[in-house]
Amino acid sequence: MVTKYIYGNPVETYAVVEEVPLGETPAHVFLETGNSLTFTHSLGSEDIVYGLGETMRGINKRGHRYISFNYDDPYHKDEMPSMYGSHNFIVVDGETAFGAFFDTPAKVVFDVDSKKNGQLTVTCTSPDLRLYLVEGEGPYDVVRQFLAIIGRSFLPPLWAFGYGQSRWGYKTARDIDRVARKHRDAGIPLDYICMDIDYMDQYRDFTVNCRRFPNFPDFVARHRKEGLHLVPIVDAGIKIEPGDPVFEEGVKEGHFCKNREGREFQAEVWPGLTHFPDFLQKKTRRWFGEQYRFYTDQGIEGFWNDMNEPAIFSTEYRERDAEPDAVRGDPDQPERHIADFKDFFHQLDDGRRMRNYEVHNLYGAMMTRASGQGLDQLLDKRYLLFSRSSYIGAHRYGGMWTGDNASTWKMLRQNVYHMPSLNMCGFLFSGADTGGFGGDTNRELLLRWLAVSAFTPLMRNHASIQTRHQECYRFRKPEDFKTLVSLRYRLLPYLYSEFMKAALRQDMFILPLAFGYPGDRRARRIEDQLLVGESIMIAPVLEPGVRGRSVYLPEPMTQVRYGAGGFTCTEVEAGEQTIEVPQNEVVFYIRQGKLVPVGKAAANTADLALTEVELLGGGTTYEQYIDDGYTKQCGLERCVTRRKGEDALGE
């Protein structure tokens, strides 16, 4: 059961789309102190607190403090309180299970028993909010009730589930041609290449540098013929550039955020001085969404939106590298940025004018909404879209990636922890920069990372310009990388089907082990094994220099080992087992009574037959979702029943 409580005069966030009954008096204690609202709850000693989407640390958020205030900080330390997105949904798994969604775009502080005295304290810095309380049978039931009210996940096309290669530093058409060719030569499947900011003319959105990318539409079409999509980046800020039609029109039609004096606010980002589109206005979202026509007219069907926290280098009031404005009393955020966000204004559709600081966490989400709604108008098929900044609700228009991680084992583990937490908040289509963004990756780390991201919906290898090249073919024995990427393609009939079923049923795709085995006390505490769809349990190797790991099996399962020679299945008992996992192999498990349809190897998704599958595992039937990979008419009626014994790959 979900109940809504309204405090003050909350801003429209578009997070919840279903009608929810209004409660009379909040069941949980609310203290009003000055201008903020505080929610408190006493946790039992064994209680687990789930949720909070894109935050650091483990799946159980207990013992620490987190702050919803979207922020671009590439040093993902455990202590970092905020990341790029804000997902204000928590689930308490205690004597009773309940969830709470704090629907406010202002800063929220979640103290999840950081003082180890059992106190959960949520402080909303704005007194205007909608609170949704969810009561359920257990944490998974609570999550499903929540997913039911926030609306269906974004449905990407099939090709978006393929492997993607990216790097900040591909500068020319030739650079991209080479990446495509090298993958082909090494036999490594590939579905898309991301184009980072260097494709643009002076870092201006909705432009292509025609010296570095002559005949862009031909370039796009040529790669499409080879089964490759190109995915350009779009940044939030619009360069101040007289003569640029987007800039001119934006000023004339009042689409940009305003400064203290009521003129267009100026901030420096990649293009130099820019204006920020006021995505909180409906007319601006419509206008911005229409701009994507520039790309779709040239054959582009996928995008990533960046710098939309928004990230700022300097502002008209604060020069780059200048001493920060002294804003006291906020130890949790770099002071200069707090000042920046207080210095620009949004015009809300309800007539209010508000500082970005007060509605901060909505900015990236409204950019995603603008792009998604625009692309939906422009294209008659599904598109790929993923954003760096997000808020619950944006999951209906695009996916997200977890920003500038680093090439470390800790970040690989964080990727594992992020996946179920993001799923609980609606973001099914998500993933991390495979191999790590900052710092130099190495062969072992990239191989182990591919073995994890083979199971995450977004599987993109991406790295920063300052780092070593980390395309798979840059390493010794590229055939080992080929094996791991080919596993992804062989699993796609399953992964695509499970993703689509989860999205259509408004369910999770990647779950904590505990959600599948609610009565199992041991499973409840395991965070380095996850459930992927209804049939698969993964237990990835997350440490350097080891030959394998130990795995807990809550029930007897089919162990599947995948390597250069294909799949090998073994029935294994419940309990603990130690497995050896060479770096060029992956071991995963199929749950009791379940099946996994696997296909043939493919060079890309265009080359993949979802219908030609073999069924692995001990179950008898599997409901496989199938469509053409891009239709907008998706529904569960597209599922077909596969029966064990009637499958054949003809190998």
Beta strands 399-401; 384-387: pairing state? parallel
Of these, 54, 73, 103, 306, which contacts ligand MIG (CB under 6 A)? 306
Asked whether position 179 contacts ligand MIG by CB under 6 A, the answer is no
Site for ligand MIG in 445-484 (CB under 6 A): 462
Q: Which is nearer to ligand MIG, 54 or 404 (CB)?
A: 404
**CB of 351 vs ligand MIG, minimal distance in Å:** 35
Q: Which of 196, 306, 340, 471 is catalytic?
A: 306
**CB of 44 vs ligand MIG, minimal distance in Å:** 39
Q: Which is nearer to ligand MIG, 97 or 406 (CB)?
A: 406
Q: Which is nearer to ligand MIG, 145 or 461 (CB)?
A: 461
Q: Which is nearer to ligand MIG, 466 or 570 (CB)?
A: 466
Closest by CA to 398, choosing from 368, 375, 442, is 368
Per-residue burial over 239-268, b if 16 or more Cβ lie within 10 Å, else e, is bbbeebebbeebbeeebbbbbeeeebbbbb
Q: Which is nearer to ligand MIG, 268 or 306 (CB)?
A: 306
Q: Which residues pair with 385 in a beta bridge?
A: 303
Q: For the window 144-173, what string marks contact with ligand MIG as x by the rule CB under 6 A?
A: ------------------------x-----
**CB of 259 vs ligand MIG, minimal distance in Å:** 23
Site for ligand MIG in 232-271 (CB under 6 A): 233
Rounded to an integer, what distance in angstroms lies between the CA atom of residue 509 and that of residue 420?
8
Q: Which is nearer to ligand MIG, 49 or 234 (CB)?
A: 234
Closest by CA to 81, choosing from 137, 123, 39, is 123
Please identify the residue of the shown chain whose CB is closest to the bound ligand MIG: 168
Q: Which residues pair with 255 in a beta bridge?
A: none
Specify the DSSP element, H or E, that contains 359: helix 356-359
- Coil/strand/helix, residue 62: coil
**Number of residues binding to ligand MIG, judged by CB under 6 A:** 9
Of these, 404, 471, 528, 614, which contacts ligand MIG (CB under 6 A)? 404
Rounded to an integer, what distance in angstroms lies between the CA atom of residue 9 and that of residue 569?
58
**CB of 194 vs ligand MIG, minimal distance in Å:** 8
Q: For the window 100-129, what string marks contact with ligand MIG as x by the rule CB under 6 A?
A: ------------------------------
Beta strands 64-68; 108-112: pairing state? antiparallel
Q: Which of 264, 309, 534, 614 is catalytic?
A: 309
Rounded to an integer, what distance in angstroms lies between the CA atom of residue 188 and that of residue 191?
10
**CB of 273 vs ligand MIG, minimal distance in Å:** 16
Q: Is 404 a catalytic residue?
A: yes
Q: Which is nearer to ligand MIG, 382 or 462 (CB)?
A: 462
Beta strands 30-33; 272-275: pairing state? unpaired
- Coil/strand/helix, residue 290: helix
**CB of 499 vs ligand MIG, minimal distance in Å:** 23
Indicate the burial class of 189 (C-beta count within 10 angstroms; 0-12, 13-18, 19 or more): buried
Q: Which is nearer to ligand MIG, 92 or 193 (CB)?
A: 193
Rounded to an integer, what distance in angstroms lies between the CA atom of residue 437 and that of residue 463?
4
Site for ligand MIG in 359-388 (CB under 6 A): 388
**CB of 267 vs ligand MIG, minimal distance in Å:** 13
Q: Which is nearer to ligand MIG, 264 or 306 (CB)?
A: 306
If you write DSSP's letter for every residue of 176-215 in order, what string do you get? HHHHHHHHHHHT----EEEE-GGGSBTTBTT---TTTSTT
Q: Is 309 a catalytic residue?
A: yes
Closest by CA to 567, choosing from 497, 649, 449, is 649
Q: Which of 235, 301, 404, 498 is catalytic?
A: 404
**CB of 166 vs ligand MIG, minimal distance in Å:** 8
Q: Is 128 a catalytic residue?
A: no
**CB of 306 vs ligand MIG, minimal distance in Å:** 5
Structure-block tokens of residue 251: 């000023």
Of these, 156, 277, 399, 403, which contacts ligand MIG (CB under 6 A)? 403
Q: Are 600 and 649 in contact (CB under 8 A)?
A: yes
Closest by CA to 305, choosing from 285, 322, 325, is 285
Site for ligand MIG in 196-225 (CB under 6 A): 196-197
Rounded to an integer, what distance in angstroms lies between the CA atom of residue 260 and that of residue 196?
33
The set of residues, in sequence order, having a beta carbon less than 8 Å from that of 443 and lying 6+ positions away, is 475, 476, 583
Site for ligand MIG in 555-614 (CB under 6 A): none
Catalytic residue annotation: 306, 309, 404
Binding site for ligand MIG (CB under 6 A): 168, 196-197, 233, 306, 388, 403-404, 462
